[in-house]
Amino acid sequence: MSELGAGTRGASLGFDAMMIASFKEDRKFFKKLRPEFIQHENHRLFEDIKTPFAKRLDGITKVYGRVEAKVDEVLTDGDFPIVISGDHSNAGGTLAGLKRHWGEQRLGVIWIDAHADIHSPYTSPSGNMHGMPLATALGEDNLDCKIVKVPEETARLWNKLKGDNPRIRYEDLIYIGVRDFEKPEEYLMIRHRIENITVPRYRDLGLEGSMDIVTQRLEHCDKIYVSFDVDSMDPSISRGTGTPVPGGFKVEEVEQIILRLIDDPRLCCIEFTEVNPVLDDKGNAMAETAFRILKSVFEKLENQGK
């Protein structure tokens, strides 16, 4: 599990923490899931950062390629990919893999997260790449909000990460729970009219009202991918994630949302990300919560024959 894109250490331990959590409820669960592991580049965490505006971009570029190939392979084998990643930068590789497999079919993205994750090396205040995966998929530099001059080698690797053509369209993206973003991200959200079902809005609309908005937003998509960052939930559950933000979902709410999204026959992949047991202030609570949701998701997918 790669954690090169995060600003704090520990997300690479998320899968192990979820496996430990499974011992309480279903110790044979991961045998049913048949995990496949992707080689990471976490040794680069001990090396000097060569690309400060997109930290460890060289290693992340390699991880992206491996994730892309594995997602494509799993789909080619006729299986449904459930991706359990370290930090959220890996989602860019997942999206690349989906695009490689589905080609010209339109991919809808449901981003369940506290953060917009649409920065580029030109706009990021931290240079942490877990805030950039959507920009890689959209082919977005956001030069209108440029705050730094990016060196040539960084720009070259960044362009390689984005690929030759955008993998998704702005009109095929919807946020759920996003509540923490910077001005450059807000600029893109407004300019491209990205739909955002905030936590208060969800509670006002209810599940079905919110799902109506999702369906309408993605009505022209052929396939749908769901990315679930555990920081979409409120920190009162646990601070076992890299960037917790107050005002998030209750466990029951986010589980309800994800299980409802599985009903869409276009769903082709779901990703769990940013579980960090090193930061957990309640033992292994975040991993236990994530595992319960994962188990519910798997059981429903299995019942649907996916």
Active site residue 43: no
- Is 130 in the active site? yes
How far apart CA 67 and CA 38 sit, in angstroms, is 7
pLDDT at 70: 97
In a domain, 27, yes or no: yes
CATH number at residue 236: 3.40.800.10
Point out the catalytic residue in the list 41, 113, 140, 271: 113
From the first residue on, what is the mean pLDDT of each consecutive set of 10 residues in the chain (306 residues)?
92 94 90 86 92 96 96 96 95 97 96 98 97 98 97 96 95 98 98 98 98 97 98 93 94 97 97 95 94 96 84
Note down the domain range covering 95: 11-303
Instruction: Classify residue 1: in a domain, yes or no.
Output: no
Is 88 known to be catalytic? yes
Give the position of tokens 């789909």.
75
Phi, psi dihedral angles at 173 (to 5 degrees): -120, 135
Give the pLDDT confidence score for residue 36 in this predicted structure: 87
What's the number of domains the chain is made of? Answer: 1
pLDDT at position 305, please?
A: 76
Evaluate whether 117 touches 111 at the Cβ level (below 8 Å): yes
In a domain, 6, yes or no: no
Closest C-alpha to 6, from 171, 170, 126, 149: 126
Burial of 190 (0-12, 13-18, 19+ CB in 10 A): exposed
Among residues 40, 115, 234, 271, the one annotated as catalytic is: 115
Residue (of 185, 12, 162, 180) closest to 87 by Cα position: 12
Decide if 33 is inside a domain: yes
Q: Is 87 labeled as catalytic in the residue annotation?
A: no
The question of whether 36 is a catalytic residue gets the answer: no
Selected catalytic residue, list 68, 172, 231, 255 = 231
| CA–CA separation, 306 and 268 (whole Å) | 9
Residue 144 lies in a domain: yes
Query: Is position 40 annotated as part of the catalytic site?
Result: no
Residue 2 is assigned to a structural domain of this protein:
no
